[in-house]
Amino acid sequence: MFFHIVLERNMQLHPRFFGRNLRENIVSKLMKDVEGTCSGRHGFVVAITGIENIGKGLIRDGTGFVTFPVKYQCVVFRPFKGEILEAVVTMVNKMGFFAEAGPVQIFVSNHLIPDDMEFQTGDMPNYTTSDGSVKIQKDSEVRLKIIGTRVDATEIFCIGTIKDDFLGVINDPANA
Amino acid sequence: MSLVTDSPVHSSSSDDFAAFLDTELDSKSSASSASDDEAPNQHHSDSAASSSPDQDKEAEEDDDSDFQSKRVKRSKVETLEIVEDDGGAASLASLKHNSEVSISKEICTHPGSFGTMCIVCGQLLDGESGVTFGYIHKGLRLGNDEIVRLRNTDMKNLLRHKKLYLILDLDHTLLNSTQLMHMTLDEEYLNGQTASLQDVSKGSLFMLSSMQMMTKLRPFVRTFLKEASQMFEMYIYTMGDRAYALEMAKLLDPGREYFNAKVISRDDGTQRHQKGLDVVLGQESAVLILDDTENAWMKHKDNLILMERYHFFASSCHQFGFNCKSLSEQNTDESESEGALASILKVLRKIHQIFFEELEENMDGRDVRQVLKTVRKDVLKGCKIVFSRVFPTQSQANNHHLWRMAEQLGATCSTELDPSVTHVVSKDSGTEKSHWASKHNKFLVQPGWIEAANYFWQRQPEENFSVNQIKN
């Protein structure tokens, strides 16, 4: 799920960035520091959409660095247990398949793939129904349900399932 | 910095955020207070102010969990789970949550984990159990029962496609690498002969400047992989590190047809300085191993086809204590059509054929290790060998590795001379047995003859190993 929220961060800046471009420097450093990171609470910071305000700087003793408290708006992405997501399959093997929804890595074990889909080896490993009508392989798009999440400092892991109604392949690159 | 961004990543924090959302969605009436709660810390620049509501919540949680543990009387782990899960949400929601957890716990055996979550029920697991399969995907672990189950289903699948497993070593088996700094003056000319990395399917000598290495693929290796991929599901298993292994896999398999997520490196093994089949998802009775180091496969010697080492670079020769000129220094290479890989491919074909054609009626009892033994026994069939001045006198002759090797190759070994002896293996043409051999017109060969037969799986022409030739 995406959220548009306000977050805050203290930015430490070297004195060489002071001057007329101070504000831009703070913003560009903020983007570099924050975009693409994860936090357990909010999930993945996708993009900064605006700056609410930049507070008064505080000079650090001894170093000359200055700390600015910055409030910014950003779009965050965080998967939840029970959420339905659309994801792109990145790897298929006998244990199941891995998929990605943006930065989120999702594993769907073969216990959670419908029983009528069977694993086929080859240079393009895939899961196929017995009549061959549905095929999951690399780059397929699937709709899945998240049943477990774990957030690391830099990564989000999820366990997903497609063993439920209305879940499974939504777009097959082979048929496109 | 604010508490929000800096708060250590804790498993509960994500769930309580979710719980907040749940409650907010449930009760519209408390929307204003919930929204305050939902993103509590974002609006407080002051960390002290934002931390106090958290403490209140914790107190609430404790009450909650006490209440619950009395009611449910589950294991400690689960009470912990509850504390983590409900995180100050309405008690109704937490009750629902709790019942869900306990149901899945009763059914799920947690066959494996991905990022410490069970791959079936999605529950966070505390212990790190099972075998890691980092080479397939980071954070993937499987329990023993699951491995057995996967091996069994995979085996059926594989037999239907008439394939077996083949584990390939990299260094000295399929290729030879050297550090740029270890290259000798005589090898300088190679710098001008490297193939471009843009199109690795051509050429066999590559300069990997990012790793400060030069790599030479063994002659015939591309044909070998192509042919072998028809008969085997192939893995790479190397003692090199992961980055190196993947780089080499790219050179050998630019189209990613053969080794897709089947590259196992030193970092993935379960034992130090040992290679094991426990991280390979294949049944041992269907695995063949191609490696130059017998000691790396202590537990799986029966699956092993020992390769003659490929030394192209001088540094690799020195490493194994050879002081002769290396192939690179002589500006030559192994023969493409009669090299080690070509002869091993023939052996592989033969084993594959026996396994699938001659043993067709006995599907379940088939074991590739038995086949390997039978094929090996054919190599020196009919030879009767007597050794002379090969073993130290005080040691037991039939414990010597040459003796055992000869027997594995199907020869009979003896200590006594009699008319049925066909070969005398000796290092010296001056011994009594050597004289006997030349007198009775028997083959007199060096010990290398047996080793060569072992590597090439073929009886070698005795003339190439005659003892006199060397002496003269």
Cβ-defined contact of B42 to A8 (cutoff 8 Å)? yes
Residues A135 and A69 in one domain: no
Domain end marker among B297, B324, B358: B358
Q: Give me the interface pTM, i.e. the ipTM.
A: 0.77
Q: Which of A77, A111, A141 is the last residue of a domain?
A: A77
In this structure, are B228 and B344 located in the same domain? yes
A5 shares contact with chain B (CB less than 8 Å): yes
At which of A77, A97, A112 does a domain end? A77
Give the residue from A37, A55, A77 where a domain finishes: A77
Our count of domains for chain A comes to 2
Residue B186 placed within a domain: yes
pLDDT tens digits, B39-59? 444 444 444 444 444 444 444
Higher pLDDT pick, B72 / B267: B267
Of B9, B123, B158, the CB nearest to A152: B9
Total domains present in chain B: 3
A103 CB near a chain B CB, below 8 Å? Answer: no
pLDDT in tens, B337-347: 788 888 889 98
pLDDT at B5 over 90: no
Q: Is B123 on the interface with A (CB under 8 A)?
A: yes
Q: Is B18 exposed, middle or buried (0-12, 13-18, 19+ CB in 10 A)?
A: buried
Ranges of beta strands (E only) in B271-394 are 287-291, 304-306, 384-388
Q: Tell me which residue range forms the domain holding B410.
A: 378-471
B414, B385 contact by CB (below 8 A): yes
Burial of residue B378 (CB within 10 Å: 0-12, 13-18, 19+) is middle
Q: Could you say which DSSP state residue A18 is in?
A: -
- Output the domain CATH number for residue B320: 3.40.50.1000
The per-residue pLDDT for B209 is 85
**Alpha helices (H) in B282-428, listed in sequence order:** 314-319, 327-330, 340-353, 368-377, 401-408
Whether residue A88 is found in the same domain as residue A162: yes
Percent of chain A having pLDDT more than 90? 59
Tell me the pLDDT band of A13, cut-offs 50, 70 and 90. very high
Cβ partners under 8 Å of residue B122, min gap 6? A81, A146, A147, A148, A149, A159
Considering the domain boundaries, does residue A176 fall inside one? Answer: no
A157: containing domain: 84-171
More confident residue, B142 or B25: B142
How high is the mean pLDDT of chain B?
Answer: 75
Shared domain check, A112 and A68: no
pLDDT tens digits along B393-430: 777 777 788 888 888 888 888 888 888 888 888 887 77
Rg, Å, chain B Cα set: 32
What pLDDT, on a 0 to 100 scale, did the predictor assign at position B30?
A: 39
Residue A92 shares a structural domain with residue A71: no
Rounded average pLDDT over B305-320: 86
Same domain membership, residue B327 and residue B296: yes
Query: Is B300 part of any domain?
Result: yes
Q: What is the per-residue pLDDT for B132?
A: 84
- Residues B382-409 as b/e (b if ≥16 CB within 10 A, e otherwise) read ebbbbbbbbbeeeeeeeebebbebbeeb
Is B76 inside a domain boundary? yes
Identify the pLDDT of residue B109.
82
pLDDT digits (tens, 9 = 90+) for B188-238: 888 888 887 777 777 788 888 888 888 888 888 989 999 998 899 899 999
Residue A86 pLDDT > 90: yes
Same domain, B426 and B299: no
What is the CATH number for A96? 2.40.50.140
Helix/strand/coil for B11: helix
**B294, B327, B358 — which closes off a domain?**
B358
Interface contact A8-B45, CB threshold 8 A: yes
Domain boundary among B92, B107, B122: B107
Spatial CB neighbours of B145, under 8 Å, sequence gap ≥ 6: B109, B111
**pLDDT confidence tier of residue B25, bands split at 50, 70 and 90:** low
Do residues A70 and A88 both lie within one domain?
no
Q: Find the helix packing angle between B11-26 and B31-38, rounded to 10°.
A: 160
Work out the average pLDDT over A15-19: 90
Q: Is there a single domain that holds both residue A43 and residue A72?
A: yes
pLDDT given at position B48: 42
Does A7 reside within a domain?
yes
Beta bridge partners of B413: B385
Same domain, B389 and B247: no
The lowest-confidence range among B38-52, B143-157, B291-305 is: B38-52
Q: Which residues of A touch B89 (CB under 8 A)?
A: none
Tens-place pLDDT, residues B74-129: 444 444 444 444 444 444 444 445 555 454 445 788 888 888 888 888 888 876 67
Q: How many CB pairs under 8 A join A and B?
A: 130
Binning pLDDT at 50, 70 and 90, where does residue A69 land? Answer: very high
Which residues lie across from B114 on neighbouring strands? B117, B140
Q: Does B51 touch chain A (CB under 8 A)?
A: no
pLDDT at site A103: 84
Neighbours of B76 (CB within 10 A): 8
Residue B226 lies in a domain: yes
Task: Give the pLDDT confidence score for residue B42 in this predicted structure.
Answer: 43
In this model, does residue B4 exceed pLDDT 80? no
What confidence category does residue B24 fall into, taking pLDDT thresholds of 50, 70 and 90?
Answer: low
pLDDT of A142 over the 90 cut: yes
Q: Does A58 touch chain B (CB under 8 A)?
A: no
Residue in A41, A147, A151 nearest the CB of B4: A41
A79 touches chain B (CB under 8 A): no
- CA B285 remoteness from chain centre: 16
Q: What is the pLDDT of residue A158?
A: 92
